[in-house]
Amino acid sequence: MKGMKTNKSYSKRLKLTKNGKILSRKPGFNHFNAKQSRTTQLAGKTGQTFTIKNKPKSHLLPFS
């Protein structure tokens, strides 16, 4: 039996740090940022820690 395929579209949105934390971008900062204040724009650049709860980690991340 072969292993499960990795969800590539999902895994491209995540980044694994050196210590094993998973980072993701904050939602809602892809476009229409001109009306936001500069502090709000810069706050969107920082990543947030991400936890996988109900789905298996190996299915979503190829590097885990």
Per-residue pLDDT at 15:
81
What is the mean pLDDT of the segment spanning 11-17?
Answer: 80
Read off the pLDDT band of 3 (50, 70, 90). low
Predicted model pTM: 0.54
- The two tokens of residue 17 are 């740090």
pLDDT at 63 over 90: no
Per-residue pLDDT at 31:
87
- The beta strand positions in the chain, using DSSP E, are 14-16, 22-24, 48-49
pLDDT at 54 over 60: no
Q: What is the CA radius of gyration of the chain?
A: 15
